[in-house]
Amino acid sequence: MSDDDFMQASDEEYDFEYEEDEDEDTGDVDIENKYYNAKQTKTSDPEGAVEEFLGIPSLEPEKGDWGFKALKQAIKLEFKLQWYQKATEHYRELLTYVKSAVTRNYSEKSIDNMLNFIEKGADNPSAVQCIEQFYSLTLQCFQSTNNERLWLKTNIKLAKLLLDRKDYHAVGRKLRELHRVCKKEDGTDDPSKGTYSLEIYALEIQMYSEMRNNNQLKALYQKALKVRSAVPHPKIQGIIRECGGKMHMSEENWKDAQSDFFEAFRNYDEAGDLRRIQVLKYLLLTTMLMKSDINPFDSQETKPYKNDPRIAAMTDLVDAYQRDDITKYEDVLQKNTDLLADPFIAENIDEVTRNMRTKGVLKLIAPYTRMRLSKIAESLRISEPEVQDIVSYLIVDGRVQGRIDEHSGTVEIESPGDAERAKAIERLSSAVADLYTAIFKDGDGFRNTLPDLANTGFGDPVADFGGGFPDVGRRRGGRRGNMKNMMNMALH
């Protein structure tokens, strides 16, 4: 074959291969264009975008990436449009791609993101039911493919869903199953699954926190803090610390509660979780319960949130509390009733309010010896029975010396000077009683002996008494000295 013939044959061969590749590329380009055109209409025409996305899988000769991507987009839109039945059907179709059409890592990440996406839209019973079906289909799929990692993730998500529904019996059963998977054959924790173990502990701690089972909660809390083989997401640590803070609050251990709430806030902040704002409110609450004068915004972590409008009401409460300004405190509470929408704050703010009102009562009654309960109630803008309850507590606690006259509706307060005068009067009365005993009882006994002395011939018994009986004279002088001392004691 000549060189010209070879070149001609070569050109024909290369021309043929180039044309074949061009056909394949053209097909991929058409699918890609269809996909991105559908993405552009997601906002303006979601129903049309769904139709476009669902048309892409059939354009591929074999299941591939574009069909997988298009189904993901269609399912998300269907879920937003509340087409839950269609979303479930297409999710079932999507799972057929994970066995051969896409790589294991890509499919695992995509499915996990999909489940995270639909979790955020669980705002009605139908959506929750749809999510449960998604979880069930996922577990069936990845159990058969022996993908333990995604199986664990999906089961943890299912446990979260059950916990949100307060189905504690089902949550407990699911958590026990998960704990078994995260242990080795000898029953000890598997270090390679430490991160999953910590997530499971976090869920269990949340469950017992909601159930107010502090004994179980404390044991699990200590176990979770001892897990060292995990590199958990900061949000998981935030959940554990938040529940620990609530546990310490229930035990009135304000110091440890403050420490845990600070750690929870720091972790939530690192994770970018909105829960950080609510936990920061809990941190401010513990500052008041500790009766601390330290500014909670002095730390580097909390300083950026000092002027955040979402915590302005709580910040104002702390400021009023630390300045003992009961009027400002009550104003903030009355104008921000949404603060009490959180059951945890509503439950614990009563202790702070009572402390404030107690200090307010003490400040009001300090200058007076008598004050009407109605006047105190009016000044503090609380009910009269509550005032009576606070004053009674102060009297029993020894912080107020006085008594309540329920008939006249007043509180009568004894000042320290009154108490000293009462003690002086009591000492004087005792001295007078001793004086009476000395003069009349002992003196009567002495006078009874005078007639006997006269009969003995000593002459004037009174005149002779001083000279004839020196011991008796000393005795009388001693008695006068004792009486003088007793009078001085009474007066001083």
pLDDT for 457-482, tens place per residue?
A: 444 444 443 444 444 444 444 444 55
**pLDDT at 435 exceeding the cut of 90:** no
Distance CA 211, CA 193 (A): 27
**pLDDT at 229 exceeding the cut of 50:** yes
**pLDDT at 123 exceeding the cut of 80:** no
Q: Which of 211-220, 237-246, 454-463 has the lowest mean pLDDT?
A: 454-463
Please give the average per-residue pLDDT across 62-84, as a whole number: 90
- The answer to whether the CB of 317 falls within 8 A of the CB of 299 is no
| Confidence (pLDDT) at 322 | 86
Please give the average per-residue pLDDT across 378-387, as a whole number: 87
Distance CA 443, CA 480 (A): 12
**pLDDT at 484 exceeding the cut of 70:** no
| Confidence (pLDDT) at 2 | 44
| Confidence (pLDDT) at 12 | 42
Question: When comparing pLDDT for 310 and 188, which is higher?
Answer: 310
CB-count burial class (<10 Å; 0-12, 13-18, 19+) for 344: middle
Question: When comparing pLDDT for 386 and 443, which is higher?
Answer: 386
Please give the average per-residue pLDDT across 335-364, as a whole number: 88
DSSP letter at 402?
E
| Confidence (pLDDT) at 408 | 87
Please give the average per-residue pLDDT across 66-92, as a whole number: 91
Please give the average per-residue pLDDT across 362-368, as a whole number: 86
pLDDT band at 420, cuts 50/70/90? low
| Confidence (pLDDT) at 482 | 52
Query: In the numeric block, which tokens belong to residue 429?
Result: 């009365």
| Confidence (pLDDT) at 470 | 43
Please give the average per-residue pLDDT across 246-259, as a whole number: 92
For all residues of the chain together, what is the average pLDDT? 79
| Confidence (pLDDT) at 193 | 82
| Confidence (pLDDT) at 443 | 55
Question: When comparing pLDDT for 437 and 178, which is higher?
Answer: 178
The pair phi, psi for residue 42, each rounded to 5°, is -60, -40
Please give the average per-residue pLDDT across 319-344, as a whole number: 88
| Confidence (pLDDT) at 4 | 47
| Confidence (pLDDT) at 415 | 64
**pLDDT at 7 exceeding the cut of 50:** no
Please give the average per-residue pLDDT across 3-17, as a whole number: 43
**pLDDT at 145 exceeding the cut of 70:** no
**pLDDT at 414 exceeding the cut of 80:** no
- The answer to whether the CB of 313 falls within 8 A of the CB of 336 is yes
For the stretch 274-317, pLDDT in tens is: 999 999 999 999 989 988 878 888 888 888 998 899 999 999 99
Residues 6+ apart with CB under 8 A from 60: 31, 66, 67
The top-scoring range by mean pLDDT among 5-14, 375-384, 459-468, 481-490 is 375-384
| Confidence (pLDDT) at 138 | 86
Distance CA 395, CA 401 (A): 6
Distance CA 380, CA 377 (A): 5
Closest Cα partner for 388 from 377, 401, 402, 400?
377
Please give the average per-residue pLDDT across 218-232, as a whole number: 81
Distance CA 467, CA 112 (A): 120
Residue 412's H or E segment, with its range, is strand 410-413
Our CA angle for 321, 326, 329, nearest 5°, is 65
| Confidence (pLDDT) at 146 | 67
Q: What percent of the chain has pLDDT over 70?
A: 80
Distance CA 403, CA 405 (A): 7
Please give the average per-residue pLDDT across 19-24, as a whole number: 41
pLDDT band at 120, cuts 50/70/90? confident
C-alpha of 331 from chain center = 24
